[in-house]
Chains A and B, each alone.
Chain A
Amino acid sequence: MLALATDCASGLSAQEKIARFKQLDSEAETAMQQHRASEAVRLYEDAVCLVPNSARGYYGLGVAQAAAGDFLKARESLRTADRLQPATGMPLVMQVRVNFSLGDMDTLKDNLREAAARFPHDADLHTTLARFLAEQNLFVLALAEALRADQGSDDWNSKVQLAILENTVGAHEDAIQNALAIEQNHQLPEQARGAAAGIAGLSYESLHKPDQAVHYLNEAIQLDPAQDNSYLALADLFEQQQKYPDAVNVLKQARAHVPDSNAVLLALGADLVRAEQYKEGLEALRELLQKAPDTPEAYIAIADAARRTGDAAQEVGALRELERRKPDYPMIHVLLARAMLNQQPPEYQRILDELSIAAKKDPNDSDVYFLQGKVYVALGRYDQALPALQHSIELRPTEPSPYYQLARVYQKLGKAELAKEQFERVKFLESANAK
């Protein structure tokens, strides 16, 4: 290193070296801002060659190397920066990021332990680490860092973050305790108290305490009415309890306060349908589809409303549009076939075509063969109905419906004994509660 430093700095005075270093540093920063990481690496390499004891230079080099995807070199540079300036935690934070990119969890944990040992009271550093780790879904390590941050600070942001992580990992009582400490502190901004009340509500919900959950989610809404998550969480809670009119009321409030939220509009439309307010529900869902036409749940909810109101054509239309936009939507062809069977008169050949596609996509779906069997029965093609229904039974022998259809086929074919046997199986299965 020294030899290199001598080479690249030959002929320059100390002042000139510093001036050149500053220039290279500035150019490298510009290159980084313009996403020219490789060029920044080269500039920083020149800079640390000039001033080999510069922590700033090695830190910049490490960041640039990481941005250029050379994580092994980045780690070495950042280690050097850390060694040169051990009083700051940024090289350690950056090493955590680099080690995550390398998938080196053991070394990442080494970094975290070192950060804990060297900066036990640096709440900002541990909060930064907690945020990064949470973003990477490393929730346990994020919780560890949030706990460390909480020890070093009375900052409500740290406590909210801690409560969120505690709720995420299932430490619901801890989440409630920390969240309520914030929610009950009237000195804090209402936004913070609202977020805390929301966390408490979610934790109570996880603890199967719906009354408290409703209380705190309502509190969250009152404290921060512009946050759609609280309305959605409360509506979801009501949905689970099948209190659809209550869910609708909450979501209507949400519409008034957060009019641009597509998530609210979808939930409102679906809950209006569930609450049998079909006209309003369809209006909400159509409004959503105008804004966000690729929302599969909206088409499913429209199809649901149409089925409930006996409008098979609309049901098929909604599902057909979903199929056009999302051809791989799960079971779309079975859903379509089922809806088409309700149309008058049913177009049996088109239904069979739909089921043929469904069978190719999932040859083990017993519903496909059951529906095929039903269609063949309706068409009087009993010789084709038989193998379809038998195959459905092979795939799901404990489901009574195909046996019933099979019995009808045998009846039509004049095979009374076989029909009786199948009817007995239907009775047997229904009495056995077999699963």
Chain B
Amino acid sequence: MTRRELLWLTGSGLVGGSALKASEPRNLSYPLRMIEGTVTAPNLLFIRDHFNEPDVSVGTWKLRIEGRVDRRYEFGFADLAEMPSKKVEAVLECAGNAANGSAVSNGVWEGVPMSSLLEAARPAPDAAYVLLEGADSGRLLQDGPPLPYSQLVPLDKCRDTSSLVAFKYNDLTLPKSNGFPARALFQGLYGMNSVKWLRRIVVLRAGDQGTVFDRSGMNRLYNRVTRQSGADRITRVSSVQVKSAIAWPTDGLKLPAGHYEIWGFAWSGGGAIRQLSISVDGGKQWNSGKLTSPANPYGWVRWSYEWNAKPGDYALMSRAKDATGSEQPLTRDPARKDGYELNWCMPIHCSVR
């Protein structure tokens, strides 16, 4: 196994902090405190590439729909841009985003509902999954051939009217690093399913998905590995777990005594955020934070807490609860052996003098 495979499999390569980082393929995120309001500016969108960014020309880009369908077809950017489109607010979070990490973005995506594209192709009655393929490709397995990045999503999720082939973010075209000219966008799912530089949608029948996915090696990524009774139980990571992050103060910050606003964001793939609690003493006592923006089901909510900071050392923690009652765990489940769904309440340390 190569070092890169190891990083992918453990997810540790995705664990970002607040520092700006860049690598090949690119793994880049920006401190959440740089975000004004509730929407991540396009230049602050996090970037998580699996392979090198592909050269995609808007003039020659095509999206092909095929597989278990009556009508295979393809179309270009002009066709996509002129189809009836829809806007949805959605958080996009990397499945390996660290607790309090910045590999998460929120904004308004515009695109063509995947449901209408699929309906035009008329999926066969036995169709059950959709393989989404990007234009980026590389070698995932050391001895395997170079293959395009791809992900499998249940057909039902693709038929959800909020699932898009997105071509705009915050009313602008997608940044190149975030999938220009078009990408998949799924509300409530981790970012890896929202395949960038989308070029092929392949409808599969139940049972075929394993073969296709195994061949690419993608089945080895994004798995939840839980140690149970001495054995590893492996399940697929999909829905975004309830989570919050402190944008300010940042870890290690020194502050003079005074009144401050602790603030950050909270989100969940399960439902709108209903409650945000704050602890300044490492989780011994909790107080209610204020939700300062509308809590939409798949977007994030901005929150704040007025803090009268007196001299001392502090461990700040935030904890979110969503409409389904799911709440951030206080600690990481010790049975988890993978590096995904890191939604526990990690403290931010700062000192006040």
Interface of A with B (CB < 8 Å)?
106, 109, 112-113, 116, 139-141, 143-145, 147-148, 150, 162, 166, 169-174, 177-178, 393-394, 397-398, 403, 424-425, 428-429, 431-432, 434
Q: A143-B58, A147-B77 are in contact. Are A428 and B353 (CB under 8 A)?
A: yes
Q: List 12 A-B contacts (CB under 8 A).
A: A113-B82, A116-B79, A140-B81, A162-B59, A169-B172, A170-B176, A171-B173, A394-B258, A398-B255, A424-B353, A431-B254, A432-B254
Taking CB atoms, residues of chain B closer than 8 Å to A141 are 81-82
Tell which of B57, B79, B81 has the most Cβ of chain A within 10 Å. Answer: B81
Taking CB atoms, residues of chain B closer than 8 Å to A148 are 78
Pick the residue among B58, B85, B173, B180 that contacts A147 (CB under 8 A).
Answer: B58
A173 & B78 in contact (Cβ 8 Å cutoff):
no
Q: Which of B80-111 contact A (CB under 8 A)?
A: 81-85
The count of residues in chain B whose C-beta lies closer than 8 Å to any C-beta of chain A is: 29
A429 & B81 in contact (Cβ 8 Å cutoff):
no
Cα distance A145–B81 when bound, in Å? 10
A147 & B59 in contact (Cβ 8 Å cutoff):
yes
Taking CB atoms, residues of chain B closer than 8 Å to A140 are 81, 167-168, 173
Cα distance A55–B335 when bound, in Å? 75
B353 & A425 in contact (Cβ 8 Å cutoff):
yes
Pick the residue among B78, B84, B85 that contacts A145 (CB under 8 A).
Answer: B78
A170 & B173 in contact (Cβ 8 Å cutoff):
yes
Judged by a CB distance under 8 angstroms, whether B20 is at the interface is no
Judged by a CB distance under 8 angstroms, whether B259 is at the interface is yes
A174 & B57 in contact (Cβ 8 Å cutoff):
yes
Cα distance A425–B84 when bound, in Å? 58
B254 & A174 in contact (Cβ 8 Å cutoff):
no
Taking CB atoms, residues of chain B closer than 8 Å to A432 are 253-255
Taking CB atoms, residues of chain A closer than 8 Å to B181 are 171
Taking CB atoms, residues of chain B closer than 8 Å to A113 are 79, 82-83
Cα distance A116–B77 when bound, in Å? 13
Taking CB atoms, residues of chain A closer than 8 Å to B79 are 113, 116, 144
Judged by a CB distance under 8 angstroms, whether B283 is at the interface is no
A174 & B58 in contact (Cβ 8 Å cutoff):
yes
B256 & A170 in contact (Cβ 8 Å cutoff):
no
A425 & B256 in contact (Cβ 8 Å cutoff):
yes
Tell which of B82, B83, B173, B181 has the most Cβ of chain A within 10 Å. Answer: B82
Chain A nearest Cβ from B256, distance in angstroms: 4
State the main secondary structure of chain A at its contact with B. Answer: helix
Cα distance A144–B59 when bound, in Å? 9
Pick the residue among B59, B168, B255 that contacts A397 (CB under 8 A).
Answer: B255
Judged by a CB distance under 8 angstroms, whether B55 is at the interface is yes
Taking CB atoms, residues of chain B closer than 8 Å to A425 are 256, 353
Interface string of B48-78 (1 = CB under 8 A from A): 0000000101110000000000000000111
Taking CB atoms, residues of chain B closer than 8 Å to A173 are 55, 57
Taking CB atoms, residues of chain B closer than 8 Å to A398 are 255-256
A170 & B78 in contact (Cβ 8 Å cutoff):
no
Q: Which residue of the partner chain B has the closest CB to A140?
A: B81
Chain A nearest Cβ from B42, distance in angstroms: 9
Judged by a CB distance under 8 angstroms, whether B175 is at the interface is yes
Tell which of A109, A112, A174 has the most Cβ of chain B within 10 Å. Answer: A174
Pick the residue among A170, A178, A434 that contacts B180 (CB under 8 A).
Answer: A170
B180 & A171 in contact (Cβ 8 Å cutoff):
yes
Q: Which of B229-260 contact A (CB under 8 A)?
A: 253-256, 258-260
Cα distance A15–B111 when bound, in Å? 54
B258 & A403 in contact (Cβ 8 Å cutoff):
no
Pick the residue among A112, A150, A171, A428 that contacts B254 (CB under 8 A).
Answer: A428
Taking CB atoms, residues of chain A closer than 8 Å to B83 are 109, 113
Pick the residue among B256, B259, B260 that contacts A428 (CB under 8 A).
Answer: B256
State the main secondary structure of chain B at its contact with A. Answer: mixed
Taking CB atoms, residues of chain A closer than 8 Å to B172 are 169-170
A177 & B57 in contact (Cβ 8 Å cutoff):
yes
B258 & A397 in contact (Cβ 8 Å cutoff):
yes
Cα distance A431–B253 when bound, in Å? 11
Cα distance A88–B196 when bound, in Å? 39
Interface string of B160-203 (1 = CB under 8 A from A): 00000001100011011000110000000000000000000000
Taking CB atoms, residues of chain A closer than 8 Å to B76 are 147
A116 & B82 in contact (Cβ 8 Å cutoff):
yes
A434 & B78 in contact (Cβ 8 Å cutoff):
no
Pick the residue among A145, A169, A434 that contacts B253 (CB under 8 A).
Answer: A434
Taking CB atoms, residues of chain B closer than 8 Å to A112 are 82
Q: Which residue of the partner chain A has the closest CB to B176?
A: A170
Q: A144-B77, A148-B78 are in contact. Are A434 and B84 (CB under 8 A)?
A: no
Chain B nearest Cβ from A285, distance in angstroms: 33
Tell which of A141, A147, A425 has the most Cβ of chain B within 10 Å. Answer: A147
Cα distance A424–B353 when bound, in Å? 9
Q: Which residue of the partner chain B has the closest CB to A114?
A: B82
Q: Which residue of the partner chain B has the closest CB to A105?
A: B85
Taking CB atoms, residues of chain B closer than 8 Å to A116 are 78-79, 82
B173 & A429 in contact (Cβ 8 Å cutoff):
no
Taking CB atoms, residues of chain B closer than 8 Å to A145 are 78
A150 & B59 in contact (Cβ 8 Å cutoff):
yes
B258 & A434 in contact (Cβ 8 Å cutoff):
no
Chain A nearest Cβ from B244, distance in angstroms: 22
Cα distance A140–B82 when bound, in Å? 9
Chain B nearest Cβ from A163, distance in angstroms: 11
Cα distance A118–B167 when bound, in Å? 25
Chain B nearest Cβ from A204, distance in angstroms: 14
Taking CB atoms, residues of chain A closer than 8 Å to B59 are 147, 150, 162, 174, 178
A397 & B82 in contact (Cβ 8 Å cutoff):
no
Chain B nearest Cβ from A209, distance in angstroms: 14
Interface string of B258-273 (1 = CB under 8 A from A): 1110000000000000
Q: A109-B83, A109-B84, A144-B77 are in contact. Are A171 and B58 (CB under 8 A)?
A: yes
Cα distance A167–B220 when bound, in Å? 39
A144 & B84 in contact (Cβ 8 Å cutoff):
no
B82 & A170 in contact (Cβ 8 Å cutoff):
no
Cα distance A428–B59 when bound, in Å? 56
Q: Which residue of the partner chain B has the closest CB to A398?
A: B255
B254 & A106 in contact (Cβ 8 Å cutoff):
no
Cα distance A339–B260 when bound, in Å? 32
6 pairs of A and B residues whose beta carbons are closest in the complex? A432-B254, A144-B78, A144-B81, A397-B258, A169-B173, A425-B256
Chain A nearest Cβ from B319, distance in angstroms: 25
Chain B nearest Cβ from A420, distance in angstroms: 13
Pick the residue among A106, A147, A428, A429 that contacts B78 (CB under 8 A).
Answer: A147
Additional pairs, 19, CB under 8 Å, beyond known A106-B84, A141-B82, A144-B82: A113-B82, A116-B82, A139-B173, A140-B168, A144-B79, A147-B77, A170-B180, A171-B58, A171-B173, A171-B176, A172-B176, A393-B258, A394-B258, A397-B260, A425-B353, A428-B256, A432-B254, A432-B255, A434-B253
Taking CB atoms, residues of chain B closer than 8 Å to A144 are 77-79, 81-82
Cα distance A36–B10 when bound, in Å? 73
